Amino acid sequence: MLSIKSAPEVASELAVRIRARRLQRAWTQAEMARRAGLKEPTYVLFERTGKISLLRLLKVLDLLGLMDEFDRIGRSRDFMDLKLEDVVKPARKRGSRQRA
């Protein structure tokens, strides 16, 4: 069954995963905010609600070494939409020469 999450659900789950990474490093919220160049209340709000601007999120992801993962979003084609013709180059066909 296909499960489609809302944007707030995805944001909230991302905040939980980021919090877990912060705790693995034994950083306080204040330390995480400082290292990412954010104000502490901004970071605390993110962990609590998932709300954060894209540029601030990128700072957090960069700090945690997750920028490459984020940068890959949308770069690959969905293989389910590919047809055989998209992958296989058709064989070249030559016609016979007409001799006069």
Supply the DSSP symbol for 88.
S
- The domain locations on the chain are 1-66
- The CATH code of the domain at 1-66 is 1.10.260.40
Task: Band the pLDDT of 96: cuts 50, 70, 90.
Answer: low
pLDDT digits (tens, 9 = 90+) for 21-43: 999 999 999 999 999 999 999 99
The pairs formed by 21-29 with CB atoms below 8 angstroms and a separation of 24 or more are 21/64, 21/66, 22/64
Distance between CA atoms of 91 and 96, rounded to whole angstroms? 16
Q: What is the CA radius of gyration of the chain?
A: 24
Give the predicted TM-score (pTM) of the model.
Answer: 0.71
pLDDT digits (tens, 9 = 90+) for 50-68: 999 999 999 999 999 999 9
Token output for 37: 């160049």
Q: Which pLDDT belongs to residue 74?
A: 76
